[in-house]
Structure 1
Amino acid sequence: MSIGIPPLVGPFLLAAAAFILAGLVLLAFLRPDPFLVTKAVAQAKLANQQVGSEENQPQVTNNRKVAVGATVMILSHVVMVAIMTMTPVHMSHHGHGLGEVGLVIGIHIAAMYLPSLITGILVDKWGRTVMAYASGVTLLAAGLLAAWAPVNSMALLILALALLGLGWNFGLISGTAIIVDATPAAIRAKTQGTIDVLVALAGASGGALSGMVVANSSYATLSLAGGILSLLLIPVVIWSRRRPSEGQQKENLSR
């Protein structure tokens, strides 16, 4: 039944209603607040001076690891947003209908979030570094496949966008874990919030620039560039594993 609005406005209205409902559910039922629990646990450990507590609750910020975690999150988000944003345009230009576009993007969104059920376990089991590497490699595979997939192959487009979502998932969770490990509980939420703003701004920039790249070149060029950009995650993570100099250690302690 029509209510006098353009057809494509409906999903936006549903999304707005879902966001409002999710906010109300969190406001009403998220008890106790995880942030308050974390602060209470950290304060208790500090007061009791438990042996080994410093390993899990750092007393100073490791600025190098914070930078690395932020870089992993930002790069993986930029690559994902850039390729994802232009995929519906690319498909539409080559004759795919709205239903096919919805299927590809729907599977992509599922690949972004459903693996979270096990990604955290893998990050703890295999380590933050390994999963950050996995993010770069997976995003590279997604970019190459998106660039070289025949435009009439739904299967390959679905696979490319699923890998894109999975690589983003690996990068977001491993990067966040690196930041958590590198920050004291007292400033962790503030640090994570600041980085989340940078991630959002980077994603918006990636989405805007992706349109310019496709307009002046092609979707294949954009996908290849995104895949290559994701490889920067590997040297960044390698750099994070180098032992900081004595001067850097003193600088961290002074902050």
Structure 2
Amino acid sequence: MEKRSRPMAALCSGTALMNAAMAAASATATLVAADRLGAAWGGVPNTIGIVGTGIGALALTRLVRASRRRAFVLGYAAAAAGACLAALAVANGDVVGLCLGMLLLGLGNAGAQLSRYAAADLHPAGRRGFAIGLVVWCAAAGAVGGPLLLDPTGAAAAGAGLPPFTGPFLLAVLTCVLAAAAATGGPGGRAGAQGSPPPLRRLARTPAARSALAVMVTAQVVMVAVMTAAPLDMHMHGDGLGAVGMTLAAHTLGMFALSPVTGRMADRFGARPVILAGLATLALSTALAAVASGSQGRVAALFLLGYGWNLCFVGGSARLARDLPEPERPHVEGAVDAAVWMVAAAASLLSTAVLSAGGYAVLAWASCAGAVAVALGQARRRAPEAVSAPAPVEPEVGRR
């Protein structure tokens, strides 16, 4: 237990700090781009940041495979450089520089996302779901805390004679540097097999990889599409900032708060029931979002949307961490994360277009249909757990 505590603390700290940087930077980048280019282009820097996360997922698993510690330090250092570049760009009114900074921030975000797999590898098979859930839960501290510091950091920047929007990016520089420092205490074991990775076509034929990819991509697309359009639809129907804020807070709570519980469920019952529960929850939440007329119904729908995503994300990650052969695992994990984030970037751009063309109900019902279709496909698959039961839980050192 003691041997795992320090690297687990490093992984959780790095994830929380990087999520704080990304949350603060993403919110500010949207405002800067909207002011400079118009509201229709406000999401471009964030989309580029998501693309950077997809690129980073491949780069950190393929180019720096010798040591996870080195990979995470490199990713967080690149993010610190990106935050610095973005701060300079904002000070000079340079949107192109801002986008390049967000791209580099995305590389660090990829490290934070891949930390869940490093945590899983520190534990025996019967505890990997909980380890993944714990790291995802720690990300909530940054995802919630980062936006809360927007106003204080903006005021501090203005007091120093800088544009207020540079403040959150300067905060991101600090948190990324701290994340890189924390990562030096992370796991230093090998991140995968030496030599060239096996072809992705062969890895994609692995049942666990196909299943996790389908589930995690579906969950990300449904969550991003419905969540991105929700504030705009509420604003168009006269809801104030208080109602919008309450809805997004409920959604964030659903995404992160119950992650350790989800991980325990994956360890106890296997990944497949958790995944199916997640897809069912996504279908229920999107159906509720399509018919909800008041703010209370929207709050409930967005909370369920967040938790459905959590069940799919943690369950799919647990399936990869437990059911893949060790030499191939890091390559598949990186490729799946890259696909998830690339598709999320497209969903972010398309959601408002669908909202504009057909309305929120059309977007929600289409998302519901997608979740149901994937759920039916997963239900027909033979469960890996039926062939191989979950490994027994390793006893705690303190109990010996």
TM-score grouping bracket, smaller chain normalisation: 0.7 to 0.9
SS across alignment from 2:327? helix
Alpha-carbon offset, residue 29 of structure 1: 2.5
* Shift in Å, 1:186: 3.2
Distance 1:179 1:214, change over 3 A: same
Is contact 1:68–1:236 with CA below 8 Å preserved after alignment? no
Deviation at 1:204, TM superposition (A): 1.4
Q: Counterpart of 1:208?
A: 349
Q: CA deviation at 1:215?
A: 1.3
Greater CA drift, 111-120 or 9-18: 9-18
Q: Distance in 2 between matches of 1:219 and 1:61?
A: 34
Relative to structure 1, is the Cα distance of residues 209 and 7 closer, same or farther in structure 2, using a 3 angstrom cutoff? closer
**TM-score normalised per structure 1:** 0.75
Q: Identify the range of structure 1 (223-232 vs 82-91) with the bigger mean alpha-carbon deviation.
A: 223-232
1:185 matched residue in structure 2: 326
CA offsets per residue over residues 92-151 of structure 1, 9 Å max, x none?
A: 00111122212211221121111112110011112211111111110011111111011x
Query: Which residue matches 2:187?
Result: 34
Q: Give the structure 1 partner of residue 235 of structure 2.
A: 92
Instruction: Identify which of 129, 134, 149 aligns with 2:292.
Output: 149
Q: Greater CA deviation, 129-138 or 99-108?
A: 99-108
Equivalent position of 1:107 in the other structure: 250
Give 1:61-76 correspondences, 5 Å limit: 63-76=206-219
Supply the distance in 1 between the matched residues of 2:359 and 2:352 (Cα, whole angstroms): 10
Q: Which runs of 5+ in 1 are unaligned?
A: 43-59, 244-255
Matched, 1:237 2:390: no
Q: Secondary structure at the match of 2:239?
A: coil
Q: CA deviation at 1:242?
A: 6.9
> In structure 2, what is the Cα distance between the partners aligned to 1:219 and 1:159?
16
Q: Distance in 2 between matches of 1:193 and 1:22?
A: 24
Say whether the 8 Å CA contact 1:132–1:170 is kept in structure 2. yes
Preserved contact between residue 223 and residue 305 of structure 2 (Cα < 8 Å): yes
Report the RMSD for the aligned CA atoms in angstroms: 3.0
Q: CA deviation at 1:192?
A: 1.1
Alpha-carbon distance, 1:81 to partner: 0.3
Higher RCO structure, 1 or 2 (CA under 8 Å, sep 6+): 1
Q: CA deviation at 1:85?
A: 0.6
For residues 159-174 of structure 1, the aligned pairs below 5 Å read 159-174=300-315
- Are the structure 2 counterparts of residues 28 and 242 from structure 1 closer, same or farther at C-alpha, using a change threshold of 3 Å? closer
Question: How many residues are treated as equivalent by the alignment?
Answer: 219
Partner of 1:247: none
Where in structure 2 are there 5+ consecutive unaligned residues?
1-27, 33-149, 152-164, 194-202, 385-400
- Distance in 1, matches of 2:274 and 2:374, equals 11
1: distance between equivalents of 2:264 and 2:186? 23
Tell me if the contact between 1:75 and 1:229 (Cα under 8 Å) persists in the aligned partners.
yes
Cα pair distance change 1:154/1:61, threshold 3 Å: closer
- Which SS does the other structure have where 1:96 is aligned? coil
How many Å separate the matches in 2 of 1:214 and 1:107?
22
1:16 Cα offset (Å): 4.3
The 8 Å contact of residues 275 and 315 in structure 2, kept in 1 or not, is answered as: yes
- Structure 1 residues 177 and 23 mapped into 2: Cα distance closer, same or farther (>3 Å)? same
